[in-house]
Structure 1
Amino acid sequence: MTRRRFSRDDVEIVQSRRLFDGFFAFDRLHLRHRRFGGGWTRPLERLLLRIPKAVVVLPYDPMTDRVVLIEQFRSGALDHPGGPWLVEAVAGLKDRDEDDETTARREVMEEAGLHVEALVPCGAYVPSPGAVTERAVCFCARVDAARAGGVHGLEGEGEDIRSLVMPADEAFTLVESGEIVAVNAIVTLRWLERHREELRERWRV
């Protein structure tokens, strides 16, 4: 497949207005961009939620072939048919002074209470590019699942996060059945499903 690659240079911001500036920022943009058929679009109004870069981690124990997922309340899933408590991978926003791996290790400790023994990059994605700037980078982390369990999270941030330990094959089935709907878990579990044997060989199991 061949396609023309546009870039940021092919977008003109005509006007930008900050509507809200808190933990996240919310902007109203008036912009135009180049068209595939040539020329430019008319001026378009777009609302944009600005969220910092996120880091996603799937804790995996190659010795026992188990994954550690988490379950927590999500206000954005209030209208989800299965309810607003979602099963997810570990994830969090990157602090300004951190690199991706430091964020990954910190989040696994905060949300699952586990020490990361090793990290392997496993992709990146943009969860909702129609209106949100967030970009997530993903890792698979080697952990000792025997140490997992209990409830974790930062009390100061109102977190109440339960650890879930299960065989990797069971987690793959939950993705296939639609029981797991959080995109961070789907992306990382699908990666593990494709690369599990290679990863276990890499970690010499």
Structure 2
Amino acid sequence: MADEKLIKFGKQDVKIAPIKALYKGFFNINLYQFEHALFAGGQSATISREILERGDAVAVLPYDPSSNNILLIEQIRIGAIKSKQSPWLLECIAGMTDGSTDYETVVKREAFEEAGLELHELEFMLSYLSSPGGTTERLHLYLAPTDLSQLQSGVYGLETEGEDIRTHIISFNEAMARLATGEIDNAATVISLQWLALNRERILKQRT
């Protein structure tokens, strides 16, 4: 049954010791020491985990229903250098919320900073935990139906934040082909494109 409760435990079934700060820099790392309820009954031994405290983030996929084009950005992501020949990735526009819960305002700010794009319409797609075994980060994804016909590809980003960002306007079909080959392989962009594939027919019908 779809409404059947599958998750047995909750926050009340975890005992957490005072969290210890291990490192403060561009990101923060904290030490969590905890015990939790076991499925077979009783309590676990104390478990220690170093957790990356990134804060929450937003991402947005601009989509032009009239032309069936999308906008992606390209920038260097040093964490990709270990497993890819090029650490320059094709991505959605994204940014940290810096503690704000006004996610739409953050999305619009990032779109202007990273692509010179003024967004007026946003549709919430979903939110997800990026890697909950090692970080508290949650991402909030949006689709931005918008006119891309007058937007020129260019280079954007804030020099003060070390950003060097190039924009690309490509067809939805090309984006899906690059997704299928594995060229697009970062989670926020993969999920956003898959969400658009599932919802595109509805979005197009709403505009006819």
**TM exceeding 0.5:** yes
Matches within 5 A, 1:51-62: 51-62=54-65
Residue type at the aligned position of 1:14: A
1:95 touches 1:103 (CA, 8 Å); kept in 2?
Answer: no
Over 3 Å counting, the alpha-carbon distance change for 1:98 and 1:41 in structure 2 is closer
Q: What SS class does the counterpart of residue 141 from structure 1 fall into?
A: strand
Residue 64 (structure 1) aligned to one of 64, 67, 70: 67
Q: What is the match of residue 40 of structure 2?
A: 37
Q: What one-letter code is carried by the residue in structure 2 that aligns with 1:145?
A: L
Q: CA separation in 2, counterparts of 1:98 and 1:155?
A: 25
Give the structure 2 partner of residue 150 of structure 1.
154
| Contact residue 67 and residue 166 of structure 1 kept, 8 A | yes
Tell me the equivalent position of 1:169.
Answer: 173
Give the corresponding residue for 1:180: 184
Asked if structure 1 preserves the Cα contact closer than 8 Å seen for 2:78 and 2:87, the reply is yes
1:24 to partner: Cα distance: 2.1
Instruction: List runs of 5+ in structure 2 lacking aligned partners.
Output: none
**Any idea what the Cα deviations from partners look like across 1:98-157, whole Å, max 9, x if unmatched?**
501101111111111111131001111111111011000110002222214101111110
* Residues paired across the two proteins, number: 204
Point out where structure 1 has 5 or more consecutive residues left out of the alignment: none
Shifted more, 64-73 versus 110-119: the winner is 110-119
Query: How does 1:1-205 map onto structure 2 within 5 Å?
Result: 2=4, 3-97=6-100, 99-146=102-149, 147-202=151-206, 204-205=207-208
TM-score, normalised relative to structure 1: 0.94
Q: Aligned-pair RMSD on alpha carbons?
A: 1.5
Higher mean C-alpha displacement, 186-195 vs 111-120: 111-120
% of aligned pairs identical?
39
Residue 63 of structure 1 and its aligned partner are, at CA, apart by: 1.0
**Residues in 2 aligned to 1:31 and 1:148: alpha-carbon distance in whole angstroms:** 51
Contact 1:114 1:143 in 2 (8 A): no
